[in-house]
Structure formats: structure tokens, C-alpha cells
Structure 1
Amino acid sequence: MRSRIFVKLLITLLLSFSSIVMFILIIINSSFQQGFANYLQQKEIRLANDMTEFLVQHYQQQKSWKLMQHNHKLWEEALESANISIPPGPGPRRAHDNPPPKHLPQQEESSRGALPPHRPLAMRISLYDAEKKLFFGPPDQSVTGHWIEINTQKQLIGWLYLSPTELIGEQLANSFVEQQQQNFIVIAAAVMLLSLVVAAIWAQLLLRPVNRVIYAVHKLSAGQYDIRVPVRGNDELTGLALNFNRMAEALQQNERLRRQWLTDISHELRTPLAVISGEVEALLDGIRQPTKENITSLQEEIIALTHLIEDLHQLAMADNDALDLHFTECDLYSIIEHQVQMFKPRMKMKNLQLKLKTEPKEGCKISADSRRISQLMSNLLENSLRYTDPGGSVEVQLYNDTKQLTIVVSDTKPGVSNTDQEKIFDRLYCADKSRSRSAGGSGLGLAICKAIVTAHGGIIFAENLNGGGLRITAQLPLIPV
């Protein structure tokens, strides 16, 4: 794929460079051709103007052009006076001087030496009187020809007509034009070669960032998640490198969390299994008797293990957007009040005060999964019960601001560090020793809370209180029933 991209980019750049350069060369060549033709024409006009001086003197002497009409030698003298070269062979033809028979074709006329393909100036200049009646020279006229007035004392006495000049009209001009055309060909070939080299270098430079990303992608696919692409410049390729680095960083973070997750899960599963295994071995060895108390202890460990597995199952469903939700009309205040009443005896046993403050009590009916909302409140209160020091208090508040319902659960110290406030919603995360899982629980309660709130389209966050303790806020959108 790399070579195909390089070849495509190389061809694109080469065609672009070549097209631009060839267009410039064509314009320059056309401009040169036109400029050279104009130069030759101006040169011939200047020679013709010099010739008019001789013709004026002749007219002043003869008072007409009649002598010029039959004087071939005099016409040649007029040409020589202006340094106009006379070609060898038959001289300039006069008007109606031995015209070729009309029945002869053009090829026969050319073979008889009438008009060569590239005629010099002497064979393209004609003399006309004031009424533009031809007296001497070729009779052909063209729209692109040039007329020169012959004046004496501000009186028009005649015209000199110059037939259009060809760009290649003489041997020197022909040689010069051919040389210039050869130079253009050489320059064009050199420019094409230079364009190829420049395009190859430029394509390689443009593909260098892409090649770095391709190399990093191969490394990333092989499991090297710490690979990064150097970021240089400020263009689209720089954006590609930045996005790749973000992706690699996210994958590295996910891999680290995955490994930590496996470590924590193995630890959480190993602890109850080890207790159960030890209890069973003690019963089998006769060290402990199969009394009701011992069987109850085994049952409690099995229930704890079952709860852990159920929590993991719920989180797995939340990750796959498959958390089982049944939205119905439910009164959020009633759900919270019920959970508070359920937890009051346990709070009292730990010497904790549990308070419920809600204003107003009406207008708290929303469309939600009542079972999941009950689980949310149970997990929040369970978290405060486990990690709040005896003698403290837990306060539950419910607010309705017409757009969302806000549930706030606040407890007294100990709190968590500022760096742990967002991480406490991670699975199996231990904030610090004061709120470690030594107090019990699987460490998945707040993670499940976050999954439930997110599934309802809300947000949940934690913050420390000034006097110590933690405040957890869950905001649920107020969706009309």
C-alpha cells in the first residue's frame, strides 16, 4: 500500500509540475514567435519607409508614376536605396508584366518560378498610386498586410503595400527560430527531469508523517500500547498524529485497567472461596462440627460471593448497553423515603444519624426503572454506612429544579482525597485505608450507581465537604411521564 500511495502522489505531483512548466514554455514560445514576427515586420516597415524617400524624389521629378510602371531597373534602384536585398533570378515582377496564363494550375506557376514559398521583402512590396491603383509589384493583397503612405508637401501621392511576412522569411531568421525551438525542447526535457526529481523528493517528504503513523499502527496492533507518533507542524497530518496518540493512550489506559481488573477480580473471588474452602475442610476433618452456626457462616460467604458475581454481571451488561431497564411511572420521593426507613435501624446500630430533607415532596414523579433507582439509593446509603465513622451522620436530600431531579447523599468524615473523587466510581477501586474494603462490600457499589445513572441519561459525581466526609450527587433528567 505504501508504494502505491507513493506512486500515485509522485504521478500527481509530476503531472502538476510538468503541466505548469509546459504551459509556461508554450506561452513563452508563442510570445517569442509573435514578438519575433513583429520585429521582422517593424524592420521591413522601416526599410519601406526609407524606400519612400527615393520614390518621392522620383515623383517630384516625373510628376507621375508612369515611368516607374515600365522601368524595372528604376524599381531595383528604389529597393537598393533602402538596402532591401534583391533575390537572384528574375527580378520583382511589375503589374501585368507577363502574367501567367489563367488556364495553368498553381503548381505549374510555382514550377515556373513565379512566387517562392518564402518570399523576401523585395517580392512582397508593391507600389500603388493615390487611388491604390497598382503600378509595380505583386498584385496580391491581404487583410494583415501593411500600407505606407507616400506624401510630398502634405499631399498623398501613392502607397507602398507590404504583404504579410512569414516568421521564417530568411535563412538567418530560419536558423535562429530553429535554434530557439531546439532550446525549448532541451529546456522542456530538463524541466521534466527536474520535475521528476522534485516530485519524488516532495512525495517522500509528504508521506513521511503517514509512514510514521503506519509504523506506529503496526506496533500498536502488536500490543505495544506505549508507542507514540512525533507531532510536528500544524496541518491535517499533525491532527492525524494527535488523534492516533490519543487512541494509543486510551488503549494503553484500557489495557492497564483490564490487567488491574483481572487482578482485583481474582483477589475478590479468591477471598470468599478461600474462606469457604477452609470451612469445608475443617468440617471434613472434624475440626469443626456441622452445627447451625457453622453452616450459616458458610451460607453468608456463599451469599457474598453470589452478590459479587451478580454485581459483575450487571456491570458487564451496562458496558454492552444491555442493562435491563423497565421504565414506568415512579415517585422518586417514595423510593428514597422507603430506602431511608430500611437503613435507619442499621444506621442506629452503628451510632449514625440518618436524615431525609426534601422540598417539595410533590412533583417527583418521573419515568424511570423503579427497581434500579431503589438499587441506586441502596448502594449510596450502604457506602455511607460502611465508611462513615461512628457518631457521625448521613443526610439525604432531593431537589426538583423543573429540569432535573437531584439526589444528594452526604456523610461525615472520613472523606477521600481530591485525586480519588472521580476514581471512586471505578470498579474495585480503593481510595485509601480509611475507606478500604476492610469495612466490607465488593467495591462495585458506586460503579453500579454510575452505570444506573448513566443508563437513565444522568450524571453522578463526588466532592469533599469542608468539615470532612463525602457528598455524592446524582442528577437525573426530569422526563415527563
Structure 2
Amino acid sequence: MRLGVTHKLFLAILTAAGLAVICSALIMQWRLNRGFNNYLNSIEKAGISRLAATLEKSYGTERSWGSLARNHERWRQLVISSFPMIPLEEIPPGDQMPPPAGMPPGAPEEHTDQNSARPHGLLPPPMARRFDQRLYLLDADKRVVVSRVMAPDASRATPLRYRGAVVGYLGIMPRTRPFADEPQRRFIRDQEQALTLTAGVVVLLAAILSLLMARRLVRPLRELAAATHRLSSGVFSVRVPISSRDELGELAGDFNSLALTLEKNEESRRQWVADISHELRTPLAILRGEIEAIQDGIRQPTPQTIQSLHGEVLHLGRLVDDLYQLSMSDVGALTYRKSELDLGDLLSETVAAFRPEFSSKGITIVESINDTAGTTVFGDPERLRQLFTNLLKNSLKYTDAGGTLIVRLQANGDMATVDFQDSPPAVPPAEMERLFERLYRVDSSRNRSTGGAGLGLAICRNIVEAHAGSITARPSSLGGLWIRIEIPRKGTN
């Protein structure tokens, strides 16, 4: 039989509670037995002390133990008077004191009224019988005066003194069993039954609470397991309620974050497939239309027609190359051969290569990269050149003729900062955050006639992140777009 988490947790809590209750009951029982035994011993010690004082006083009056040896009833009265705290019932006839040593059985005791009722004292019959049977009195020579025990031990006896001299010994034999009397045993049994009942009730309550607690603790796990099954089947909209602030609540929050991420990734994947299909379908449709027109004789395979077909093929090739570059950078398969390089020199060379194209369109490039001190970075020169090339191409394509492009490089703390600011057209602020998404184009500035597929900035972001940097977009003071790149300087990344 396979046990679930609920049963395992229930058994663990119940076992811990049961062991705690059993240990507590055993300790309490041990303390009860020991405490009750100490209580009985204290009663006996107090009675022995009082009886010893009484015997010493009696000896001082009579100067001998003869009267006690002959009159056993008087001895009994002295024993009874030593325990005045508990009512006494009449001792049964079978518990009479045997005659003193040397006295024949049945001999009358002096000073005893045979017709009088047996006196009532303050010692209960069980204790009177047990206590009286264990007492013994010896004279100064350690001969037995009164004793119901065999071979009394004088070494354990309490000396009795009169005027400084030892005149006798009073002793009591130790109990053969801790609780020999029935009332004592009944009291201990009652306490043990109460402890057992208490332990049973506590274990029962612990079982009920353990079951409730186990179900309470396992319920979030069951909900999480069911949600995980739904998530694995492709239902990314599933969420689990967060009912606590403990580790289970944190786990539920992490699951919801994971489900949200997977849902967004699924939406991005679907959008990505749709966008790629759309981007590839357009040049393919143009090629198909041109070729079919040539086949039908509508158009002639003139150099202009061939040039148009070649342009669409180039456009399709660039799109496929961009997709390949982006996919490689996403999976981290792009090779980076990093070394120490001067970012200013690399940026100047890239800008110089594009100056003729910007001049032909009437766009002025303003450079602020002469002072390159402190802009040495650890990076891949080819990938960084690709980064700057993509940004310069974007400005060249989307900046209106007669505009301006400012390229600035400076050291800003631990980072080397590169800024590209161009003139109109501008990008709406609401769409700034989406510029680095794949295949995203701003309708007012980007269109297929300029050859943009919306992959250049996505590739730029991957290259910057591979260099532990960041890239952001914001409105430019010139009225266009401002792209800022921050890359850690040498010795800071």
C-alpha cells in the first residue's frame, strides 16, 4: 500500500505527539511513585520521632521498660498517639499483638480491661497493622522488649536517652514492598488510571489535530500538483491561489510566475511564427508573381525584370540571414572572441565607413568620440562592429533627408556609454519598449519599402547583453530616436 503525503505527515505528527505523551506519562508516574513513597517515609519518620520522645518520657517516669513489655495495650496506645492526623478504625481481632518475649501465650496483660471496648485511635487499620508489625523496642543491652519482627537490626535503631545515657533503641524494619497496604495500592492505581485516561485523550486529540493539520498542509500541494499537470498539458493560463506567506505560498507564487512566463513565451512564439510567415510570404509572393508573369508572357525577361527578381532574392536572403543571426544569438551559439579593445577607435572606423551614404542622403553626422581615454572594453570587435552597423543602418533608413545624427562616446563611471541621437521622424513613447522585440516595426517610420524586417534591434540587444551591458531607447532632443548603449569598461565586468 502506497502512503500519500497526507498519511505520512499525519503519522509523523501523531508519532511525535504520542511519544511526547508516553514520555510525559512515564515521568509523571515515576514522580508520583517516588513522591508518594517519600510522603509515606516522612510520615513514618515523624511518627518515630514522636514515639521516641514519648518512650523517653515514659522511661524517665518508670526507670525501666518492664511495664511496656508486660502491658502490650499501653505500647499500642503509644504507637497510636504518634500518628494523630488520620482517623483510626478498630483493628480486627486477628491483628492482635503477640505476647512479649518470654510471656506464655494467653497470659493476661497487666492494667488491661478485658471487658472494655477496644480503644479507637487516629491510625488507619492498614497503616496501624503494617506500622506496628515493623516496630521494635530494645533495651540498653539491645535485648528485645517489644517486637513483632524476627531478628531486629539494632544498627538501624534510634537510640533512646535518659539524662544523656542510652537506655534503649527504637527501630522500624524497612518495607518489603513500596506500597504493601491496599489503600496505598488503590491510590496508586487510581492515579495510574487517571494518567492513562489523560494520555489516551491527549493522543486522540493529537490524532484529530494531526489529521486536520496534515490535510491543511497538503491541500496547497495537491492544488499545485493538479495545476502542474494542466500546465504540462499546455494550459498556460492556469494559476494556483496563494493562501499563505510561508514556503508553500512562495512556491505557489513562483509557480504562477512560471506559468505567466510560459504563457507569454507561447504568445511570443505564436506571434513569432506568424510574423516570420508574413515576412517570408511577401518576397516569395513577389517572386512567384514575377516568374509567373514571365511564364505567361505578360512580362519579358528584360534586365529590369531580372534586377527586380534579384532584389527580392537579396531581400529574402537578408531576412533569412537576420533570422539565423537572431536564432543563434538567442541560443547562445554565436561565437564571441573577446579581447581588450578601444571602443572609440572601433566606433570611429564604423562611422567613417558610413559617411558617404549619409552624405548622399543629406544627413549630417556629428561625432563626439575624439577623447576616448577610459573607454577600453573587453569585447568582440566583430560583434560590436555589427552592433554599430545595425544602428547606423537604422538611422540611415529612417532619418529624413537633411537631418542630423549625433554619435557620442564617453566614460560614465564604470561604464562606457555610446549614444546615437537622430532627427525626425520620432517613435511614439508608448512603443519605445517594443523596439527591441523581434519583427516589430513602427508603422509611421518603418515599412518594407526601406527593407526593414524588424530584426536589427533585437540582434543589437542580444549582442549588448552578451557583453554584460544594456541598451535602451528614448526620445531624442533632436526630435527623433535616442539609442543609448552601456558596456562595462575594462576591469569592471
> Is TM (by shorter chain) over 0.5?
yes
Query: CA–CA distance in 2 between the matches of 1:434 and 1:93?
Result: 132
**What is residue 301 of structure 1 aligned with on the other side?**
312
* TM-fit CA distance, 1:313: 1.0
SS in 1 for 2:401: coil
Contact 1:79–1:85, Cα closer than 8 Å, also in 2 = no
Consecutive unaligned residues of structure 1, counting only runs of 5 or more, are: 99-117
Q: Residue 224 of structure 1 aligns to which amino acid in structure 2?
A: V
SS in 1 for 2:435: helix
Q: 1:279 to 1:130 in 2, by over 3 A?
A: farther
Kindly tell me the number of residue pairs found equivalent between the two proteins: 460
Contact 1:264–1:428, Cα closer than 8 Å, also in 2 = yes
SS in 2 for 1:317: helix
**What is residue 373 of structure 1 aligned with on the other side?**
384
SS in 1 for 2:438: coil
**What is residue 264 of structure 2 aligned with on the other side?**
253
**What is residue 91 of structure 1 aligned with on the other side?**
97
Q: Residue 280 of structure 2 aligns to which amino acid in structure 1?
A: L
Contact 2:372–2:410, Cα closer than 8 Å, also in 1 = no
Query: CA–CA distance in 2 between the matches of 1:433 and 1:155?
Result: 128
Q: Is 1:263 the counterpart of 2:269 in the alignment?
A: no
* TM-fit CA distance, 1:427: 0.8
* TM-fit CA distance, 1:125: 2.2
Deviations 1:208-257 (A, max 9, x none): 12222112111111111111121122211111111111111111111111
Consecutive unaligned residues of structure 2, counting only runs of 5 or more, are: 83-87, 105-127
Contact 1:450–1:460, Cα closer than 8 Å, also in 2 = yes
**What is residue 25 of structure 1 aligned with on the other side?**
25
SS in 1 for 2:4: helix
Matches within 5 A, 1:57-136: 57-65=57-65, 67-68=67-68, 72=72, 74-82=74-82, 88=94, 91=97, 120-127=130-137, 135-136=145-146
Taking only aligned residues, the RMSD between alpha carbons, in angstroms, comes to 3.5
Contact 2:340–2:490, Cα closer than 8 Å, also in 1 = no
- Larger mean CA deviation between 342-351 and 313-322 belongs to 342-351
Matches within 5 A, 1:128-147: 135-137=145-147, 138=149
Deviations 1:116-168 (A, max 9, x none): xx98111222335689887543455699x8x7786789998666434445442
Contact 1:226–1:249, Cα closer than 8 Å, also in 2 = yes
Query: CA–CA distance in 1 between the matches of 2:489 and 2:61?
Result: 118
- Larger mean CA deviation between 279-288 and 170-179 belongs to 170-179
Q: Is 1:192 the counterpart of 2:196 in the alignment?
A: no
Matches within 5 A, 1:300-379: 300-328=311-339, 330-361=341-372, 366-379=377-390
**What is residue 459 of structure 1 aligned with on the other side?**
470
SS in 2 for 1:188: helix
* TM-fit CA distance, 1:45: 4.2
Query: CA–CA distance in 1 between the matches of 2:52 and 2:24?
Result: 42
Query: CA–CA distance in 1 between the matches of 2:444 and 2:3?
Result: 58
Contact 2:154–2:171, Cα closer than 8 Å, also in 1 = no
- Larger mean CA deviation between 89-98 and 421-430 belongs to 89-98
Q: Is 1:287 the counterpart of 2:298 in the alignment?
A: yes
- Larger mean CA deviation between 261-270 and 393-402 belongs to 393-402
TM-score computed with the length of structure 1 as normaliser = 0.83
Q: Is 1:407 the counterpart of 2:418 in the alignment?
A: yes
SS in 1 for 2:267: helix
Contact 1:411–1:471, Cα closer than 8 Å, also in 2 = yes
Contact 1:275–1:301, Cα closer than 8 Å, also in 2 = yes
* TM-fit CA distance, 1:36: 2.4
* TM-fit CA distance, 1:262: 0.8
Query: CA–CA distance in 2 between the matches of 1:361 and 1:55?
Result: 117
Q: 1:330 to 1:467 in 2, by over 3 A?
A: closer
Q: 1:432 to 1:69 in 2, by over 3 A?
A: farther
SS in 1 for 2:252: helix
**What is residue 15 of structure 1 aligned with on the other side?**
15
Contact 1:437–1:443, Cα closer than 8 Å, also in 2 = no
Matches within 5 A, 1:44-55: 44-48=44-48, 51-52=51-52, 55=55
Query: CA–CA distance in 2 between the matches of 1:477 and 1:162?
Result: 96
Q: Residue 458 of structure 2 aligns to which amino acid in structure 1?
A: A
Contact 1:127–1:134, Cα closer than 8 Å, also in 2 = yes
**What is residue 118 of structure 2 aligned with on the other side?**
none
Q: Identity over the aligned pairs, expressed in percent? A: 36
Q: 1:26 to 1:362 in 2, by over 3 A?
A: closer
SS in 2 for 1:382: helix
* TM-fit CA distance, 1:80: 4.5
